[in-house]
Amino acid sequence: MRYMNLVADQSGKRLDRFVADEIAELSRSQAKRLIEGAQVTVNGVLAKPSFVLTPGDMVSVAVPAPETDAIVPEPAPLDIVYEDNHLLVVNKPGGMVVHPGAGRRHGSLLAAVLAYRPDIVRADADPRRPGIVHRLDRNTSGLLLVAATAEAQQGLRAQFKKRTVSKTYLALVYGCLQPMVGAIEAPIARDPKHRIRMAVANDGRYARTEYRVLGHYPGVSYLEVKLLTGRTHQIRVHLAAIGYPVVGDRIYGPKGAKPRAPRQFLHSHRLGFAHPATGEAMSFTSPLPEDLQRVLDRVMRGEES
């Protein structure tokens, strides 16, 4: 059993939905069972699943441990962009999950990192995600931060919470996006009908995505995208919501559309943060990987795949 304290940041959300949105491994039905089983309190008092939260409410959740907690280290090639005693910056390939989850117990980036740096297992009391301070979708490639100590993990998580970490992505989307520079500000929540999807929803969490068009090509736009918040699937959901889904996105994109891509065309291109131990400004850049570069080359030449 582990205990989590969560603070409601908006009003009008049901308790069961809030718990499910905040704790990724819980479905709404699981959250409801925990609430009904007296494992959740609001401001120290038991509440019903339908209880409506207000900003500042403290929600405490006793989360049962999964059947297998510890991640088994698995040696695998790693593209390490930077490393010191406090942290690693890793260039994650598309197709690799960041940490094990339902249906994917092996082949994660974290398992490879733990095989390379066994000391990172001490970075967090939660044995399932030691060192993890943010995530990338399985089919999103690019730069990822991993904390090597508990102090670094705490410091980096605080920077993400304060939104002082700079996160820039490269994306290719269907359509001729206008204006050339803009922002999408729309709350995001889990889609109640499709649990693997997220959606723009009035009762969702605040989310803001900024973009700049780098070029227009036949049927597509090439973008630089900055995340001001870090909601699940945020870039993909926001761009699809305004009618410009990411090329190759199997969940939010149109079926059979051209050009095609082997995966979603989304790459974590630049990452900036303050070193958690020294305060030094750190910035790293990762170029497009070969699979996405080939797609971009084709569209720039006006070819259909």
pLDDT of residue 21: 86
pLDDT of residue 66: 56
Catalytic residue among 16, 57, 137, 249: 137
- 181 and 107 belong to one structural domain: no
pLDDT of residue 65: 67
- 29 and 106 belong to one structural domain: no
Q: How many C-alpha atoms does 19 have within 13 Å on its Cβ side?
A: 33
pTM, full prediction? 0.78
pLDDT tens-digit series, residues 132-177 = 999 999 999 999 999 999 999 999 999 999 999 999 999 999 999 9
d(CA 204, CA 1): 28
- 171 and 261 belong to one structural domain: yes
H helix runs in the chain, sequence order: 15-22, 28-36, 109-116, 150-162, 234-241, 290-300
Is 16 one of the annotated active-site residues of the chain?
no
Q: Which CATH number fits the domain that encloses residue 47?
A: 3.10.290.10
**Domain assignment present for 286:** no
**Domain assignment present for 133:** yes
- 171 and 264 belong to one structural domain: yes
Q: Which CATH number fits the domain that encloses residue 93?
A: 3.30.2350.10
What average pLDDT does the structure give for the chain?
A: 91
**Domain assignment present for 176:** yes
DSSP E strands in the chain: the ranges are: 2-7, 40-42, 45-46, 58-63, 80-83, 87-92, 141-147, 166-174, 181-185, 188-190, 198-200, 208-217, 220-227, 266-274, 281-285
Of 162, 189, 216, the one marking the end of a domain is 162
- 158 and 257 belong to one structural domain: no
**Domain assignment present for 74:** no
**Domain assignment present for 275:** no
pLDDT of residue 102: 55
**Domain assignment present for 285:** no
- 156 and 175 belong to one structural domain: no
- 148 and 175 belong to one structural domain: no
Tally of domains within the chain: 3
Q: What percent of the chain has pLDDT over 70?
A: 95
Of 18, 37, 63, the one marking the end of a domain is 63
Domain hosting 47: range is: 2-63
**Domain assignment present for 126:** yes
- 172 and 155 belong to one structural domain: no
**Domain assignment present for 153:** yes
Of 162, 195, 210, the one marking the end of a domain is 162
- 129 and 149 belong to one structural domain: yes
Instruction: List the structure tokens of 11.
Output: 């009003």
